[in-house]
Amino acid sequence: MGIKQSAKDIAKEMFYRLGICGPLLRISCICKYPAFFILAYHRTCPSGNGRPYMATPIDIFEQHIKFIKDNFKIMPMTEGLKNIYEKKEKEIYVSVNLDDGYMDNYLYAYHVLKKYKVPATIFLTTDYIGKNPVFWWDRVFNATSYNEHATDRINAALRTEEESEIQRRIKEMEDKASLLKKAKSNLMLGWEEIRKMKEDGIDFGSHTKTHRNLCLLSDEEVAEELGGSKKVLEENLGEEVRGFSYPFGIYDERIKNLAKRAGFGYARAGFKGFNHKNADRFALASICAGPALRTSFLADRISLSAFKTH
């Protein structure tokens, strides 16, 4: 880490500890109230070494939740959207999202959310509910010797490739790395855990059936990914499912229209920023909370996203 970067990190930490972040965030958004931002996570894990890919240590996750509760109005996705489109109060609203449906959402994140009485939405990849898949992005993480930055770069390129090409390139990486251990499987949420969290105010949305890049699929395949996952969720949850999150955050106009046709009420995309009254509810911006992001860094990321939105 260079001297300049170290100075920036120290400044972020000081702003946070001095309690300056909250007022600055309000000033940064004052021109376009009401504002709504979505904090996006994937996995949570115990604190310490050996983090899984994309996992936020639970102590960091708790600090994040406490920070946003102290500074913003936290609410479910549908309520936050309703407020920016219909209300005129100068307020910042926030929702917490978790993508994919890992079991660690129940083992760790759920207890923090319950402790602070914070609602959240978990977007489920329905073909993997109650199963133990080995995802290709975890195989990349394994092949890079758990180098998260390298994995992020490689995965960003691979997610736009066809499945056969993804598998070929990962196999090459694994062969070159001479791996002694295979990537670990991931235990995903089962219906028992999903229903228990639902009783405590956790919402659930669709993240497709198989988490493929929808832009690479035909209209018929996309319709099955969307409609199939929505049907499974509604049959098991006993209520209409309105929320959708694009796999990898990738979409285009065709996919947006197919999501509307499938009966969803909104869809979260992958680009960063705040949402205001002119936001497209089928291309909602979000803020990636980061797997091990210090709370001071998260506050800085939120402020920066607010300024860029202007």
Task: State the average pLDDT for the chain.
Answer: 88
CB 245 within 8 A of CB 39: no
Question: In terms of Cα–Cα distance, which of 177, 192, 188 is closest to 141?
Answer: 177
Report residue 206: phi and psi, to 5°.
-95, 140
Burial class (CB in 10 A: 0-12, 13-18, 19+), 109: buried
Taking the C-alpha atoms of residue 284 and residue 31, their distance in angstroms, rounded to an integer, is 19
Instruction: Using pLDDT thresholds of 50, 70 and 90, give the confidence band for residue 293.
Output: confident
The shares of helix, strand and coil residues in the chain, as percent rounded to the nearest 5, are: 50, 15, 35
Judged by average pLDDT, the poorest of 62-66, 163-167, 225-229, 290-294 is 290-294
Identify the band that residue 290 occupies on the pLDDT scale cut at 50, 70 and 90. confident
Cut 0.85: pTM above it: yes
Assess whether pLDDT exceeds 50 at residue 7: no
Q: Whose CA is closest to 100, among 201, 23, 209?
A: 209
Average pLDDT over residues 109-132: 97
pLDDT classification of 9: cutoffs 50, 70, 90: low
Region of 211 on the Ramachandran plot (φ > 0 left; ψ -120 to 50 alpha; else beta): left
Residue 221: pLDDT above 60? yes
pLDDT reported for residue 13: 53
pLDDT of residue 179: 72
Domain range list for the chain: 3-133+185-309
Residue range 20-49: mean pLDDT, rounded: 76
CA distance 108 to 203: 17
Res 3: pLDDT:
47
Comparing 9-13, 56-60, 110-114, the range with the smallest average pLDDT is: 9-13
CATH number of 3-133+185-309: 3.20.20.370
Please, are residues 121 and 155 in contact by the beta-carbon 8 Å criterion? no
Which residue would you say has higher pLDDT here, 280 or 178?
Answer: 280
pLDDT value of residue 48: 82
The pLDDT score that the predictor gives to residue 2 is 46
Mean pLDDT calculated for residue range 241-266:
98
What is the reported pLDDT for 14? Answer: 54
Q: How confident is the model at residue 5 (pLDDT cuts 50, 70, 90)?
A: very low
**Looking at the predicted structure, is the pLDDT value of residue 144 above 50?**
yes
Tell whether the torsion through CA atoms of 62, 111, 237 and 42 is positive or negative: positive
- Under a CB-based contact definition with an 8 Å cutoff, are residues 75 and 93 in contact? yes
pLDDT for position 1? 44
Residue 109, pLDDT above cutoff 90: yes
Q: pLDDT tens for residues 153-190?
A: 999 999 999 999 999 999 999 998 887 678 889 999 99
Least confidently predicted of 147-161, 253-267, 280-294: 280-294
